[in-house]
Structures are given as C-alpha cells and as structure tokens.
Structure 1
Amino acid sequence: MHLKFVIVLFLIQLRCIAVGSCAYAQDLRSDTLKLGIKDAEKAFLQNNLTLLAQHYNIDNASAQVITAKLFANPDFSFSNGVYASQVPHAYNEQTYSISQVISTAGKRNKNIQLAQLGVEQAKYQFFDLLRTLKFTLRNDFYTIYFQEQSAKVYTEEIASLSKTLVAFKEQYAKGNIAQKEVLRIQSQLYALQSEYNDLLLNIDTTQSEFKLLIKTIPSTYITPVMQVDSSQMQTVESVPYQKLLDSAYVNRYDLRYAKSAITYSDLNLKLQKATAVPDFSLALNYDKLGAYGQNFLGAGIEFNLPFFNRNQGGIKQARIAIDQSKTQFQNQQNQVESDVATNYTGALRLQHLYSSFDPAFKQDFTHLIQEVFKNYQKRNINLLEFLDFYDSYKTNILQFNNIMLHKYTSLEQLNYVTGTPFFNQQ
C-alpha cells in the first residue's frame, strides 16, 4: 500500500511540473502587455515624461538666443508745461527726448555666443539623460525576463510540493508515514513560498520602474519577449578595448558637456572683460520754448567713467571658473576611463564564466531531476535525498538565469559607459 501511495504521488508531481509554468502564465494573462525590446524603446521615446520635460530645456535655451540677439529699446520722454510764474502761456512749453544705448566691446556678440553654447549644453544634457534612461529601460527589460524564468521554477516546485503535502497528510492520518516526513515537506514548501514572494517583490519593483519609463497603465503586467540565443550574441572580445575607450571620448555626452563648460568659461571671461568697457548712450533733444530760443534741437552722449568699478570681481570669478571647469573636465575624463576599464574587465570575467558552462547543462540537469523522481519512486533514495536533489535543481537553474542576466546587463553597461550601442542589439 505504501508503494502504491509513492507511485500515485510520483504521478501527481510529474503532472504538476508539466503544468506549473502554465499556472504562472495564466495568473498574469489578464492585462498583460507583451513587448520586445525594440517596441519598448519606441514606447519609451514617445511617452517618457522625464525625457519630454528635459527636451523643453533645449527650447528654453533656444529662446535665450533670441533674447541675446535683440537690441536694447530706445528711451523716449516727453514733457509739457503746466505753469510758470511771470511766463504767459507756459502750457505751450514742450520738450521731447529720445536716446539709444550703444553696446561696446562686442558684448552683444559675446552674449549671443554664450546663449548658443547654452543650447548645445542643453542638448548634451538631454542626450545624456536619454543614455541613462535607455540603459535603465534595457536593464529592467532583461531583469524582468530572467526573473520571470526563475519564478517559473518556483511555481513548478510549489505546485508540486503543495500536492505532495496534501497527499502526505492524508497518508499520515492513515498511519502510513511518519510525521517527520510531513513536517519536512511542509518546511520545504514554506521556504519556497518565502523565496518566491521575495522574487515577486523584486519583479514588481522592476515592473513599476519599467512601466513608468514607457508610460503604460500601472495595472498592466509587462511580459518581455526575447530570443535567448547566446551563439548569436556579440562577445566582449569582438570589440577592442581601445575602440570602446575612443568611442566613450566621442559619444559620452556628460564628457562633452564638461568640455563645453571650459569653452563657456572662456567666453564668459571675454564678456566680463568687455563689461569693464562702459556702454554709451546717444540722445536727441527738442525744446519748443527753450532758454536759447524757440524750437531748440540738441544732441548728446552719456557714459560712465570707469575710475573705480572696472568689473574686477567679475573678471576674477571668470578666471576661477576656467580653472574649475578644466579640473572638472579632467575629473570627468578620468571617470570615463575608469568606467570603461572597470566594466570591460567585469564583462570579460562574466563572458569567461558563461563560456565555462556546458551548453547542454540546463537540459541535462532537467533530465537528471526526472531520473531522481524515478529513483524516489523505486525507494532507491529517501525523502531527504529527494528533496536535496530538488533543491539543488532549483538552485542551479536560478544560478544559470542569474548568470545569463548578468551577461546581458554587463554588455548593456558597456554600451552605457561608451555611449555607443555595441552589444545586445535585438
């Protein structure tokens, strides 16, 4: 009778493994959005609000160029007589004046150049944000995909052990098995459920960030669709290290922004020096009943004398800003070189680790666990040995998925630090 129970239990477990992944999929089938990486990127570029908001900074900077190109408006004044003692018809006295400020030392052109450089910097910031958000998007996509593959392992084992626990409790009630076997199955099931819950929390967190990036309905569940074909993936060694570094120098927009800050500081120093040169104002005056006679017309010029304030503080600050921006650029360049070197080394290490795995490992291990079931059915192994094999199967599959995830994300990290999509172009 005990052998018959084991056979029935074995058949139940096999059926649970066959349908376990289906139960996971059915649980998520409602409000599910299936997306490939290209579709996700398209939705991201069209809908991401952070990216759209950053783009307005370019429009604002362009508007500042328009402002810099405008000339100062002329000033106009008018005065009409109201009363003067011993002067008849004083109300006929009228004066008019018009004046125009003339900018000197090329201040207007220098302000235009600064505003135009501001547009370039706004673009650099936009494209650097795009680089960062796109990296986050692709990382989230791969993270969700491989964590879902790991979740399927848990649903298979939980479904199988849940059925097993019910059967064991029935047999324990009949006195066919010891209580310790029931408790051992129950303990294993609780541990799996706890691990599975933690994994789902991680998936939910990544899902939330991913949905925000592509601006989809929060209740929608994203199911990444991809073909995992490692034989078609570009290896790290296929792109020379120097090529990666040279690409980072050219295409890292944060580095280009830091370099443009030096140019901005140089232009600002020229502007501050030009500010020390006073502007002047040309004026034309008309007085209907002036002291020198009727219909007096006069012209004049006005400017301040730079005896005390020659913008010494502004010029000093501009010089300090040049040294500061050069230091920041050097620091940013060092950071870029460090990023490329560190991530290249890490990607190579993961590449070698993955290459050391037998391609048939996953299939062979799945076959092994099926043989373990048969041996457990024949009582060639006891319950503890069976559960150990089962736990080893779960651990190895999870490790395999984790290595695959790190392999993809390490290449994405290289894309990110070089600012160039060398790898993982699906």
Structure 2
Amino acid sequence: MYFKIVRVLLVSMIPLLITCNRVHAQGVGREILSLHIQEAEALFLKNNLSLLAGQYAIDNARVQIITAKLFDNPQFSIENILYNPESKKFFDMSYDGGQYGGSITQLFQTAGKRNKNIRLAKINVQEAEYNFFDLLRTLRYTLRSDFYKIYFQEQSAAVYTAEINSLSKTLSVFRQQYAKGNIAEKEVLRIQSQLYSLQAELNDLKDAIDDVQSEFKLLIRANPKSDVKPQISFNLDGKDVLEQVPYQKLLDSATANRYDLKAAHSALEYSNLNLKLQKAMAIPDVNLSLTYDKQGSFVRNYSGLGISIPIPLFNRNQGNIKQARIAVESSKVGLQQQQDQIESDLDNAYQGALRLELLYNSFDPKFKTDFNHLIEEVSKNYEKRNISLLEFLDFYDSYKTNTIQLNNLQLNRINSLEQLNFVTGTPIFNK
C-alpha cells in the first residue's frame, strides 16, 4: 500500500526536478531586479560611488596644473619713520623732516623650473586618469564575476529546492505510513537524514548567494532590499573560444591596454622629469627689486634697481638630486616588475581557461538532456519495483551532484574568460 502512495508522490515530483532552472523562492515583499549584463554595466557606470571618487581625484590633479602655472607674487615693503627727535613728531610725513622708503621685489625662476613643474603636474593628472581606468577595470571584473556567480549559484539552489520539496512531501507520507505500522522507522530516518543534509547545504549556498548579491548591489547601488535575477542569453557549448584569438594578440593587448602598466610608465617619466627639476633647483633664482628712499640715502629721493642671487657654495641641492636618481632607478624596477607580472598573469589565466575549455567541450552536449531522460526511466523502473526506494533516492542525489558540478564548471569557464579580459585590459571575450 505505502509503495503505491510513495510511488505516486515521487513520480509527481519528476517535472519539478527536471525543470530545475528556476531560481529559489525570493523573500516575501522583496523587489526582483531582472538584469542582463549590459544593463548591469550601465547602472554600474552611472551609479558607482568609487568611480565618482576617482573622477574627483582626476579633477583635483587638474587643479594642480593651474597652481603650477602661477607666477610668484611680487613682494612690496614700505618703511616710515616712527619718531623724529628733531621735529618731536611720530610718523613724521612732512616734506622737510619726514622720512619713508619702500621697495618692490619680484622672484624670477631660472633653468625652466616653472615649465618643469607644469609638466610634472600634467603627469600627475595622467597618473590619476590611469588609476581611475585601472579601478574601472577591477570593479568591472568584480561586477561581471558576481553577475555570473549569482546566476549559476541560483541554478544550483533550484536543484536543492526541488529535491527538498520532493523529500519533504515524501517524509510526510512516510511518517503517516510509519504511524500505521506499514514501514520501518529506518526508512523514515533515512529520508529525514537526507532532507536535513540538503537543507543545511542549501542554507550555506544561500548565505554565499546573499554575500555575492550584497556586493553586486553595492556596485550598481541597487536597493538593498531587492534581489538580483541575472539573465543570460549566450551559450558556450562546443565553442572553441580561445582558438579564435591568438595568444600573441592577448599579450599585445595587455601591453597596450593595461592602465596599471601605463601608470608605471608614467611614474618613470615623472621620476626622470623630477630629476631634471632637482638639477635645475641647484641653479639660483634671481630677485629683482626697485627701491625708493626719501632722504635716508646720500641723495634726497633716492631710487635704485637691485638684483640678488644666492651663491651656491654649500647647498647645491645635492640630497634631493641623489634621491631623484634613486627614484628613477626604482621606477625602472617597478616598470619591469609590472611587465613581468602581466606576462605571468596572462600565461596563468590563459592556461587555466584553456584547460576549462577543453574539459567543458569534452562533455557530450546532450549529457544534461540524457540525464534528465534517464531520471524518467528510473522512475518507471521504480514503479515496476525493479529498484528500491533507497536506490531511487540515491539516483536523485547523484542527479543533484552532477547538475551542480556542471553549473560550477560553466561558471568557472566563464570566469576564466573574464579573467583574461581582466588581465588583458580589453573586453575580448565579453558576452
């Protein structure tokens, strides 16, 4: 009797398990944010606060160019007699007895110091722009990786949900039959144990999904109370994506488009120019001054033109010049290190993507369809009692494991292509 009841119940659950591409149930009252990857990137570029802060950093660097272009202000000084003992007057401004004088001084920089400072400020702007685009590269990689991770983890969660729903109803029937004495307690405990295990695994998976959802929503500044539902329309089954792009093209793209590499080149340029500036700083600047004195000089109403130049006997900016030379050598090492790192990262990412592509394409494209068909055949055999209940449930557990592994393999393959996009700094494989 109980076999008929359980058989009917389990067979009715087959469509639920086969159509496990639905996402797990969302929280009550939560907004569903359905997005394609292009829509997610548009929201990211429009709303992300880190990018906005990076743009402010560029604006701040541009302001420094204005500062560097400014000339030094002239200095004006005036001196008046405090007390005239002859006329017994304070601040005597009279024609005969008063005395006052004044001067105006202007600093003129030599050896092109001003132009060098302007060029340094422009390089700072360039570095700020490179840092911004490198930040954009990093955040976009995070965005796209999170997008695909959410999608495939939701697919895996749907498998758990379907099997849990099936086992929950089965457990309810088994408990009723156990109460009537139709089945042994070990059958109930077997179903109950597997159900609890699945529920714990699903809970861990949902925690992981929530973490990724939180990071993704922060990137696009979506409502924290919403649930993102990624939409994917492409299919990589049987496609040799890497064969379409030569490795040398990837390397050339990384060399030309990695903004952190450009920033390293810019840092070397800055160091070389700063060395020239420090050498120029050893050349004295010139102060020109115009002076007037009413009657404190050897002639009345004295006026004079003055020039002052520091004599570079002791301080010839030796320390700063040496530091600038060290900075040049350090920048060269940093540039070479960045180039080596890019080549290493590219080789590592390419080899990983190639292995995943070969592994994924080695699977029969009809594997999933055949596996779904096989589960129908297993149910038929169960109806005929050719297999036991435990064998039937073990097969469903195998179905869950293989489906989740396939989802993870698809995710890893897409992530490997995104990693190549990230390493090369170019959306070569963007879908």
1:43 maps to 43
Q: Provide closer, same or farther for how the CA distance between residues 131 and 324 of structure 1 changes in structure 2, counting only shifts above 3 A.
A: same
Amino acid of the structure 1 residue aligned with 2:311: L
Q: Provide closer, same or farther for how the CA distance between residues 234 and 187 of structure 1 changes in structure 2, counting only shifts above 3 A.
A: same
Please say if residues 168 and 177 of structure 1, whose CA atoms lie closer than 8 Å, have aligned partners that are also in contact: yes
TM-fit CA distance, 1:19: 8.2
Specify which of 341, 346, 349 is matched with residue 340 of structure 1.
Answer: 346
| Structure 2 residue 265 is matched with structure 1 residue 259 | yes
Specify which of 361, 364, 367 is matched with residue 367 of structure 2.
Answer: 361
Please say if residues 17 and 159 of structure 2, whose CA atoms lie closer than 8 Å, have aligned partners that are also in contact: no
- What is the distance in 1 between the residues matched to 2:426 and 2:177? 62
TM-fit CA distance, 1:21: 6.7
TM-fit CA distance, 1:128: 0.4
SS of structure 2 residue aligned to 1:91: coil
Amino acid of the structure 2 residue aligned with 1:44: F
Please say if residues 234 and 423 of structure 1, whose CA atoms lie closer than 8 Å, have aligned partners that are also in contact: no
TM-score, normalised relative to structure 1: 0.96
TM-fit CA distance, 1:7: 3.3
2:9 maps to 9
- What is the distance in 1 between the residues matched to 2:20 and 2:50? 39
Please say if residues 61 and 128 of structure 2, whose CA atoms lie closer than 8 Å, have aligned partners that are also in contact: yes
1:394 maps to 400
Matches within 5 A, 1:311-390: 311-390=317-396
CA deviation string 1:253-300 (max 9, x = no partner): 111111111111100000000011111210001112223232211111
Specify which of 280, 288, 302 is matched with residue 286 of structure 2.
Answer: 280
Q: Provide closer, same or farther for how the CA distance between residues 294 and 87 of structure 1 changes in structure 2, counting only shifts above 3 A.
A: farther
TM-fit CA distance, 1:25: 4.2
Q: Provide closer, same or farther for how the CA distance between residues 265 and 226 of structure 1 changes in structure 2, counting only shifts above 3 A.
A: same
Instruction: Kindly indicate which of the two structures has a greater share of residues assigned to helix.
Output: 1
Amino acid of the structure 2 residue aligned with 1:358: D
TM-fit CA distance, 1:2: 3.3
1:301 maps to 307
Please say if residues 167 and 191 of structure 2, whose CA atoms lie closer than 8 Å, have aligned partners that are also in contact: yes
1:59 maps to 59
Matches within 5 A, 1:174-253: 174-231=180-237, 235-253=241-259
Please say if residues 74 and 104 of structure 2, whose CA atoms lie closer than 8 Å, have aligned partners that are also in contact: yes
SS of structure 1 residue aligned to 2:34: strand
What is the CA RMSD across the aligned residues, in angstroms?
Answer: 1.8
Q: Provide closer, same or farther for how the CA distance between residues 29 and 419 of structure 1 changes in structure 2, counting only shifts above 3 A.
A: farther
CA deviation string 1:209-256 (max 9, x = no partner): 000100111111110011142259660111000000011001001111
Please say if residues 408 and 424 of structure 1, whose CA atoms lie closer than 8 Å, have aligned partners that are also in contact: no
Q: Which runs of 5+ in 2 are unaligned?
A: 94-98
Please say if residues 264 and 331 of structure 2, whose CA atoms lie closer than 8 Å, have aligned partners that are also in contact: yes
1:91 maps to 92
SS of structure 1 residue aligned to 2:305: strand
- What is the distance in 2 between the residues matched to 1:324 and 1:147? 45
TM-fit CA distance, 1:29: 7.5
Q: Which moved more, 1:154-163 or 1:18-27?
A: 18-27
TM-fit CA distance, 1:411: 0.4
Amino acid of the structure 1 residue aligned with 2:370: D
CA deviation string 1:297-331 (max 9, x = no partner): 11111121111110100000000011101001111
Q: Provide closer, same or farther for how the CA distance between residues 410 and 185 of structure 1 changes in structure 2, counting only shifts above 3 A.
A: same
TM-fit CA distance, 1:78: 1.6
Q: Provide closer, same or farther for how the CA distance between residues 308 and 220 of structure 1 changes in structure 2, counting only shifts above 3 A.
A: same
- What is the distance in 2 between the residues matched to 1:103 and 1:313? 20
- What is the distance in 2 between the residues matched to 1:57 and 1:170? 68
